[in-house]
């Protein structure tokens, strides 16, 4: 889509979603502030008491629409993977808490804090292959590096929780 093909209403909607309803415009650490929305979002959906398949369906839809949302928001903001686009950080928490969803475990405060911390470490450090995935084009690259960081965070959180359950 060229600059002349842009539609202002679509741009505004994409920016609103892509920036986590504006939280991505925080003056510092927008990715961290955006990440703060992920745990309560997943926790809230789990509190609805939906069947696991319904929760997984919501997660898949939320993640899948992230690719076009991030593509459109970054185009509207005029750069690839702008810091203001935090939808990817928010969506990654469906992956961070995937073991909780699949095992029917509640997300308590400690799990939410640990999951958040693990995710931020892996999102910032970008270990292999996270650092490679961000080079994919458009919203695919914007989303997949955070989803991969979410996988690392999910593994770290799961190992931590299992160790605590076993040894405490």
**Confidence at residue 1, expressed as pLDDT on a 0 to 100 scale:** 47
The predicted pLDDT at position 137 comes to: 93
Confidence at residue 6, expressed as pLDDT on a 0 to 100 scale: 72
String of DSSP letters for 14-57: HHHHHTTTTGGG-SS-HHHHHHTTHHHHHHHHHHTT--HHHHHH
Reading the chain (168 residues) residue by residue, the pLDDT tens digits are 455 577 889 899 999 999 999 999 999 999 999 999 999 999 999 999 999 999 999 999 999 999 999 999 999 999 888 999 999 999 999 999 999 999 999 999 999 999 999 999 999 999 998 999 989 999 999 999 999 999 999 999 999 999 999 998
Which pTM was predicted?
A: 0.92
Residues 6+ apart with CB under 8 A from 64: none
Provide the pLDDT for residue 4.
55
Nearest alpha-carbon partner for 120 in 155, 146, 158: 146
Output the six-digit token pair for 78: 């005029």
The tokens for 35 are: 């990440």
């Amino acid at each position: 889509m060229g600059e002349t093909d842009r539609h202002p209403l679509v741009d505004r909607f994409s920016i609103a979603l892509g920036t986590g309803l504006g939280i991505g415009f925080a003056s510092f650490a927008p990715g961290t502030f955006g990440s703060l929305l992920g745990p309560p979002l997943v926790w809230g959906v789990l509190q609805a008491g939906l069947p696991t398949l319904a929760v997984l369906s919501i997660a898949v839809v939320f993640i899948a629409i992230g690719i076009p949302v991030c593509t459109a928001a970054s185009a509207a903001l005029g750069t690839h993977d702008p810091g203001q686009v935090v939808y990817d950080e928010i969506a990654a928490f469906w992956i961070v808490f995937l073991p909780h969803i699949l095992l029917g475990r509640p997300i308590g405060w400690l799990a939410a804090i640990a999951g958040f911390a693990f995710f931020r470490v892996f999102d910032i450090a970008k270990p292999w292959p996270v650092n490679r995935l961000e080079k994919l084009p458009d919203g695919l690259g914007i989303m997949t590096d955070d989803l991969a960081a979410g996988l690392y965070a999910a593994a770290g959180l799961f190992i931590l929780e299992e160790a605590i359950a076993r040894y405490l």
